Every structure is written in C-alpha cells, then in structure tokens.
A and B are shown apart, each in its own frame.
Chain A
Amino acid sequence: MKVKPDNYIALEFLSRSANEGFARTATAAFAAQLDPTLDELGDIKTAVSEAVTNAIVHAYPDALGKISLRASIFDGNLLEIVVRDWGCGIADVDRAREPLYTTGGEERSGMGFTIMESFMDSLSVRSRQGKGTVVTMKRRISQRAGRK
C-alpha cells in the first residue's frame, strides 16, 4: 500500500534555464515548514538545482519540454523530491552516476549526481531511453531541540 504524504506540492514547468531558480526556491520555501537548518536548506536547494538542470540541459538538448517536480513530506520530517522529465533518457545510469562522467562538454563538470548523492540521504534514478528520467531523492530533516 502506498503511504500518503503529510503534505506535498507539485510543479510543472518548461525546460527553460530561467526556471532553475524558481524550482529550487519554491522547493526550499515548501521545505521551510520542517524548520531545516541553513545547511539543510542549502543542500536541498543544491540537489534540486542539479536534478532540474540535468532535465533542462540533457533531457531536452535541442528542444523545450515538460519537467515536473513533486516535493512531499512523509512521517513528520522526511522530505522526498521527485523530478521527472519525458526527454531522451539515460542509456547507462550506473555510468552516468559516476563522478566526472559527463556528456555535456566543458560547460559541465560531471559532478551533479555525486552532489545529489552526498547532499541527500538517498538518490534513485530510473530512466528509459527515448522515454525519460525520474530522479527521486530523500532527506530526513533533523528535529531540533526547541521546536514545538
């Protein structure tokens, strides 16, 4: 049975680079209800920026396409972020997740997945060539003393 989230937001936007800032800021604003630390908030923004930028840069290299982002809260303090595109897909996901692996030339560093992995508690990448990619990241937000 699927567990229902305590709360969620769902966004859909076009793969324009101007939406990178919007996506990470909107997610951070949603995550604020968990009272994260500044480091936690920075990590979440960075991970979202990496996933969304990948969809913009790699999924739709020569076109504009649809990207969806869903952020959910489960179990009081577990933040789950799902970024989905319907673009070209990834031929070899294990290889793509390796540090420094990039098909983006010198404008990219090949560190996006490595950063998502180190900033979030878990990262899963499902992809089918020609169909698209779904990136799911989870991070449990610390429960600080002094919170209600």
Chain B
Amino acid sequence: MEVRTKTTERELTIGLRGELDHHSAREVVTAMERAADAALPSSLVMDFGGVTFMDSSGIAVVMRAERRMCALGGSLVLVNVPQQARRVFDAAGISAHVRMEGPPDQA
C-alpha cells in the first residue's frame, strides 16, 4: 500500500493507493498519525481514489481518523471512494455518519 501525505494550510490530505487490508492497515495508521501530529490539521481529507480493495480493516482506519479529528476539533471527509470500498462502508453503516464526496474539484 502506498500512502502519500500532503499538507496545505491546515488541511491534511492522505492519498491511498493499493489494497487496504489488515496486512497494510498498520502502515496507513502510522503514516496518518505522524502527519496529523505534525500538521495538527483542522481538516483531514482521505483520498480513496487509488484503493483497489478494502475490507473491515479500512473501517477501523477511518474510525481512528474520525476520533483523531474529533479530538482536534476538525473535520474528516473521504473522497473518490471506489464502488467496492463504498459497499463495505455501506454494509458497516459508516456511510451514514462519515462525509463522502466525489473528486474534490467536483464537490
């Protein structure tokens, strides 16, 4: 799994590429926590555009991001969520309380 982080102003974007499962989740969480510690963002954007597969391990990652942004008093948004990951979020009932948007420029 490839994790790219980018900070502009106080918006942190985390771009994910590859398969998000139990095997790869830890490195995503580590990268996310490190970037959040450095940026103390008021907004966290998780870009799922490159995610080719995701299972419930991804739900735990998103819930962790949500707790983190809640503690920072900021917001979380997931963008470019592919259909397969979207079905997993839907089955887990996550889609109802986490914001999801299309590509940032279309939102």
Shortest CB distance A136–B (Å): 19
Q: Is B31 an interface residue (CB 8 A)?
A: no
Q: Chain A's interface: helix, strand, loop or mixed, by majority?
A: helix
Chain A residue numbers with a CB within 8 Å of B19 are 21
Q: Is B83 an interface residue (CB 8 A)?
A: yes
Q: Choose the segment among A5-13, A36-44, A124-132 that binds chain B (4+ C-beta atoms closer than 8 Å).
A: A36-44
Chain A residue numbers with a CB within 8 Å of B60 are 106-109
Q: Is A85 an interface residue (CB 8 A)?
A: no
| 18 CB-based A-B contacts, threshold 8 Å | A20-B21, A38-B83, A42-B53, A42-B83, A46-B54, A49-B53, A50-B55, A53-B21, A53-B55, A107-B25, A107-B26, A108-B57, A108-B60, A109-B63, A114-B91, A115-B91, A115-B92, A119-B87
Q: Is A57 an interface residue (CB 8 A)?
A: yes
Q: CA A99 – CA B100 in complex, angstroms?
A: 22
Return the chain A residue nearest B64 by Cβ: A106
B21/A109 in contact, CB under 8 A? no
B22/A53 in contact, CB under 8 A? yes
Residue of B19, B23, B56, B84 with most chain A CB atoms under a 10 A cut-off: B56
* A21-B21, A106-B60, A109-B63 given; A114·B83 CB < 8 A: no
Q: Is A118 an interface residue (CB 8 A)?
A: yes
A20/B23 in contact, CB under 8 A? yes
B22/A46 in contact, CB under 8 A? no
Return the chain B residue nearest A28 by Cβ: B53
A118/B53 in contact, CB under 8 A? no
Return the chain A residue nearest B92 by Cβ: A111
Chain B residue numbers with a CB within 8 Å of A108 are 56-57, 60
A115/B22 in contact, CB under 8 A? no
Chain B residue numbers with a CB within 8 Å of A57 are 22
Interface string of B42-82 (1 = CB under 8 A from A): 00000000000111110110011000000000000000000
Return the chain A residue nearest B86 by Cβ: A42
A20/B87 in contact, CB under 8 A? no
Shortest CB distance B14–A (Å): 18
Q: Is B88 an interface residue (CB 8 A)?
A: yes
What 4 pairs between A and B have smallest CB-CB spacing? A17-B23, A42-B84, A49-B55, A109-B59
B87/A42 in contact, CB under 8 A? yes
